């Protein structure tokens, strides 16, 4: 249980960039990926914007016949796996011949395929759909297509713990390597822009009309978005043997369940989750240099998360930078914390912290240092990645700057 686990490859598909370099450059300049939704008609909704990945072309990453056999979630998952494996300088043979596994988190899985089937059966009044389309629908398909494509014969799992699922998946991969059951793990999350999710959050009145403004007093909600992020996790021994470039070390994670409310986060649950993460990794609050906030831009979430940070860090809480990249990306649901893990790994490696954009008016209830509107140079040795989900599923991942 003492094996060290490091991140050696990053893959991301997002509304502000595909590939970690474009993604990171655009994060640091505060680029917004929010635009009018074009994949379905929003005329009857209260809001009309979201974080679509309009530049994503699946056939850049896979043969055309494979594209047609996959849901959008699976397409993005396989594309990010491809990007992460290339970034880690791993060959297909190395992946398939080592003890490797894959674990992907999601909220709605291949729900776009289910929507398509529903449209065919109800609106178009068809009496049957193709078997190929039905085979795209199961939630596990995103991890399965990666395992099949790279001949990964170890564990292949999906976590559906809503908006914390990406952190859950990375935590599972970390455990498998630490326990010496795997040497390499592809872990992260993937989420398509779903009409079902967009409808639900609109009905909750949880979607902002134009901008996501985390921690701002005039915040009006989140932005429904899509994307995928996967990291290559390796045992330190494996990474060093093949002279891999290391972005960050994963120290561990903490989980908690609020057992409180289906949609509203609990401050006590968030506190418990962050405390567990620090206890599991033997990190003191005074050692934390950066927090990637869940930061959805909703009234309740931001207030409760800020209250939890005040409780954990005491008089020092204003000295710890806390930014939300959802202000730029929107909320990518099950992919969110995976993409935010990539941002944390890059913050640890580069000493730059991405901003919280759209910040205009201070809120006394959210008086954390949210790195307003402009990226900041700041040495980051320890970073926390917070994620909280419907059903009270909380996860906090701890990353550290790598050092021998």
The answer to whether 331 is a known catalytic residue is: yes
Q: Which residue matches tokens 């976590």?
A: 159
Candidates 212, 273, 331, 396; catalytic one: 331
Sign of the torsion angle spanned by Cα atoms 67, 69, 72, 74: negative
Tell me the two tokens of residue 276: 């567990």
240 torsion bin: left (phi>0), alpha (psi -120 to 50), beta (else): alpha
**Cα distance between residue 169 and residue 167, in whole Å:** 5
The answer to whether 257 is a known catalytic residue is: no
Q: Is 243 exposed, middle or buried (0-12, 13-18, 19+ CB in 10 A)?
A: exposed
Candidates 103, 163, 273, 366; catalytic one: 163
Sign of the torsion angle spanned by Cα atoms 360, 211, 163, 180: negative
215 torsion bin: left (phi>0), alpha (psi -120 to 50), beta (else): left
* Partners of 189 in beta bridges: 105, 229
Candidates 103, 212, 273, 294; catalytic one: 294
Question: What is the crossing angle of helices 20-28 and 336-350, to 10°?
Answer: 80
The answer to whether 366 is a known catalytic residue is: no
**Cα distance between residue 342 and residue 7, in whole Å:** 9
3 state SS of 300: helix
**Cα distance between residue 227 and residue 52, in whole Å:** 8
Is 255:377 a contact under the CB 8 Å cutoff? no
- What DSSP line would sit under 201-220, residue for residue? HHHTT-B-SS---TTBTT--
CA distance to 35, 145, 207, per residue, from 201 (Å): 17, 29, 6
3 state SS of 147: helix
**Strand-strand pairing, 5-14 and 227-235:** antiparallel
* Residues acting as catalytic residues: 163, 294, 331
């Amino acid at each position: 249980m003492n094996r060290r686990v490091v991140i050696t490859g990053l893959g991301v598909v997002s509304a502000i960039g595909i590939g970690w370099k474009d993604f990171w450059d655009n994060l640091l300049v505060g680029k917004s990926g929010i635009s009018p939704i074009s994949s379905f008609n929003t005329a009857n909704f209260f809001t009309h914007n979201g974080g679509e990945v309009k530049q994503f072309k699946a056939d850049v990453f896979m043969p055309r016949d494979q594209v047609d056999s996959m849901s959008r979630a699976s397409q993005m998952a396989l594309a990010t796996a491809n990007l992460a494996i290339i970034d880690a300088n791993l060959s297909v043979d190395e992946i398939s011949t080592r003890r490797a596994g894959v674990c992907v988190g999601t909220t709605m899985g291949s729900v776009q395929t289910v929507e398509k089937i529903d449209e065919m059966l109800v609106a178009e009044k068809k009496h049957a759909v193709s078997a190929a389309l039905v085979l795209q629908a199961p939630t596990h398909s995103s991890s399965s297509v990666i395992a099949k494509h790279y001949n990964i014969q170890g564990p292949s799992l999906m976590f559906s713990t809503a908006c914390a699922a990406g952190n859950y998946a990375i935590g599972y991969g970390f455990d498998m390597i630490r326990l010496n059951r795997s040497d390499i793990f592809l872990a992260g999350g993937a989420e398509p822009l779903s009409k079902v999710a967009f409808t639900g959050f609109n009905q909750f009145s949880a979607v902002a009309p134009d901008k996501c403004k985390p921690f701002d007093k005039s915040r009006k909600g989140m932005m429904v978005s899509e994307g995928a992020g996967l990291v290559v996790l390796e045992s330190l021994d494996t990474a060093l043997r093949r002279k891999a470039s290391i972005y960050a070390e994963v120290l561990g994670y903490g989980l908690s369940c609020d057992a409180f409310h289906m949609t509203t986060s609990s401050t006590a649950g968030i506190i418990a989750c962050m405390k567990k993460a620090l206890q599991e990794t033997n990190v003191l609050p005074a050692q934390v240099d950066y927090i990637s906030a869940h930061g959805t831009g909703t009234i309740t979430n931001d207030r409760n998360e800020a209250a939890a940070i005040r409780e954990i860090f005491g008089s020092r809480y204003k000295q710890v930078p806390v930014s939300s990249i959802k202000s730029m990306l929107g909320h990518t649901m099950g992919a969110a914390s995976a993409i935010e893990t990539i941002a944390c790994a890059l913050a640890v490696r580069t000493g730059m912290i991405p901003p919280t954009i759209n910040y205009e008016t201070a809120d006394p209830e959210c008086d954390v240092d949210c790195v307003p509107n402009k990226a900041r140079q700041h040495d980051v040795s320890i970073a926390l990645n917070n994620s909280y989900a419907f059903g009270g599923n909380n996860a906090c991942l701890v990353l550290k700057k790598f050092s021998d």
